[in-house]
């Protein structure tokens, strides 16, 4: 009898919690841009976005969100350019130009999401799991907040998973897409462009792997520490880097990730990585906002 009563109370508590979450959960702000000033005959350009990155992003990939919120006209202009890009123009681009566009779109629209909610107001429930100054405090930021892209509504998740990951075999995107967190790759303070995309992505990989918070090799502890990005998206590296020639004894995904990483290490560290069978541990992901001036 007591067990039955306890079960009823537990069930009621769960239902009450779900109702409370549904009713009190904040909703993401709607982001609208003034399309009246856009010109259909204007050639697509990264000039406005380049200005934003050069002005508000430092050499370490940290963002001056306060300044960007106060002077967001160039960022909004680029968002309008993303929205009004002619799909027929896009269709004529090379694959590298398309990949560059989607990376830039994801990163720029993420900036828009942060600026629209800045300063970020933490919620009680999200603060139990994530930093108070974090994109994770914005409800639905990846799957409910919609942006106009070439005349259609898209979420950030759709850009990342249904477009970049699904349509292009380019795993290096994971070292270029920036979700406004310290655990992300650094936000490059220049746009990605098709004719330099390979060099830019390679440079991103080197910078990312040079950060001990993203990758480090503990020889004495026989452990290699990897960013959680490689755990979440390791499967994307298999097609290109899944060779069996090195790293025997690892699973297919881990082997592909290690093959990829070894390409971007200096000779000594790369040799050490291939010389032994290391345990793999994934580093905790830092969801703190990638804001200049440190955590608030």
> What percent of the chain shows pLDDT beyond 90?
84
- Indicate the helix (H) or strand (E) that contains 217: strand 215-218
Q: What is the pLDDT of residue 90?
A: 99
Q: Residues 169, 37: one domain?
A: yes
Secondary-structure percent of the chain, ordered helix, strand, coil, rounded to 5: 50, 10, 40
- Note the pLDDT tens digit of each residue in 227-240: 999 999 999 999 99
pLDDT for res 38:
53
Tell whether omega for the bond before 154 is within 30 degrees of 0, i.e. cis: no
- When pLDDT is averaged across residues 174-189 and rounded to a whole number, the result is 99
Rounded CA-CA distance 284/32 in Å is: 35
Could you tell me if residue 294 is inside a domain?
A: no
Segment 200-214 shows an average pLDDT of: 99
Q: Can you give the C-alpha Rg of the chain in angstroms? A: 22
Residue after which a domain boundary falls, among 192, 207, 222: 207
Domain match, 126 and 42 both: yes
146, part of any domain:
yes
Query: Which of these three, 173, 207, 241, is where a domain ends?
Result: 207
Are 48 and 176 in the same domain? yes
| Separation CA 93–CA 72 (nearest Å) | 28
The predicted model scores a pTM of: 0.89
Query: Which among 176, 264, 282 has a CA at the least distance from the CA of 228?
Result: 282
DSSP string spanning 108-167? HHHHHHHHHHPSP---HHHHTTS-SSBGGGSTTTTTT--EEETTEEE-HHIIIIIIIIHH
pLDDT, tens digit, 9 for 90 and up, residues 248-274: 999 999 999 999 999 999 999 999 999
**126, 162: one domain:** yes
Answer for the pair 151, 83: CB distance below 8 angstroms, yes or no. yes
Check whether residue 128 and residue 214 sit in a common domain: no
Beta-carbon contacts of residue 96 (< 8 Å; ≥ 6 apart): 194, 195, 197, 198
Count of structural domains, the chain:
2
Separation between Cα atoms, residue 95 and residue 100, nearest integer Å: 9
In a domain, 261, yes or no: yes
Taking CA 286 as the corner, what is the angle to CA 280 and CA 287, rounded to the nearest 5 degrees? 135
pLDDT band for 42, please (50, 70, 90 cuts). confident
- Looking at the structure, tell me whether residues 179 and 241 fall in a common domain: no
Q: Is residue 21 part of a domain?
A: no
Determine the structural domain holding residue 278 and report its residue range: 209-282
Tell whether 214 and 121 lie within a shared domain: no
Does residue 132 share a domain with residue 240? no
| Domain end call among 207, 236, 254 | 207
Helix pair angle (47-56, 95-117), 10° resolution: 50
Count of C-beta atoms within a 10 Å radius of residue 210: 12
Residue 182 to residues 32, 114, 131: CA-CA distances in angstroms?
A: 27, 14, 11
> Is 250 within a domain?
yes
User: Is residue 9 in some structural domain?
Assistant: no
Kindly indicate the confidence band of residue 1, based on its pLDDT and cuts at 50, 70 and 90: very low
Helix (H) or strand (E) holding 223: strand 223-226
With respect to residue 240, please indicate whether it lies within any of the assigned structural domains: yes
The verdict on 107 and 138 lying in the same domain is yes
Residue 62 shares a structural domain with residue 152: yes
From the list 76, 240, 94, 81, the residue with the least C-alpha distance to 171 is 240
User: Do the domain assignments include residue 151?
Assistant: yes
Chain segment 101-116, per-residue pLDDT in tens: 999 999 999 999 999 9
| 119/173 same-domain check | yes
Answer yes or no: do 64 and 173 share one domain.
yes
């Amino acid at each position: 009898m007591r067990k039955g009563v306890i079960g009823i109370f537990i069930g009621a508590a769960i239902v009450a919690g779900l109702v409370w979450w549904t009713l009190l959960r904040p909703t993401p702000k709607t982001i609208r841009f003034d399309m009246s000033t856009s010109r259909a005959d204007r050639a697509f350009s990264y000039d406005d976005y380049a200005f934003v990155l050069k002005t508000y992003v430092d050499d370490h990939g940290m963002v001056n969100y306060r300044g960007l919120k106060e002077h967001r006209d160039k960022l909004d202009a680029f968002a309008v350019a993303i929205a009004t890009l002619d799909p027929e123009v896009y269709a004529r681009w090379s694959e590298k130009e398309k990949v560059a566009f989607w990376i830039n779109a994801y990163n720029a629209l993420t900036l828009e999401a942060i600026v629209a909610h800045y300063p970020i107001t933490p919620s009680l429930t999200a603060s139990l799991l994530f930093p108070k100054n974090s994109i994770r405090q914005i409800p639905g930021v990846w799957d409910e907040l919609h942006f106009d892209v070439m005349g259609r509504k898209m979420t950030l998740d759709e850009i990342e998973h249904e477009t970049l990951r699904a349509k292009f075999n380019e795993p290096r995107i994971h070292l270029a897409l920036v979700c406004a967190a310290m655990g992300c790759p650094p936000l490059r303070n220049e746009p990605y462009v098709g004719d330099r995309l390979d060099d830019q992505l390679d440079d991103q990989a080197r910078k990312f792997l040079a950060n001990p918070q993203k990758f480090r090799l503990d020889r004495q502890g026989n452990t290699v520490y990897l960013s959680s990005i490689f755990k979440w998206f390791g499967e994307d590296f298999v097609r290109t880097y899944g060779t069996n020639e090195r790293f025997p004894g690892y699973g297919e995904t881990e082997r592909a990730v290690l093959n990829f990483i070894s390409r971007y290490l200096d000779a000594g560290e790369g040799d050490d990585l291939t010389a032994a069978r290391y345990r793999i541990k994934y580093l905790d992901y830092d969801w703190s906002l990638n804001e200049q001036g440190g955590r608030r």
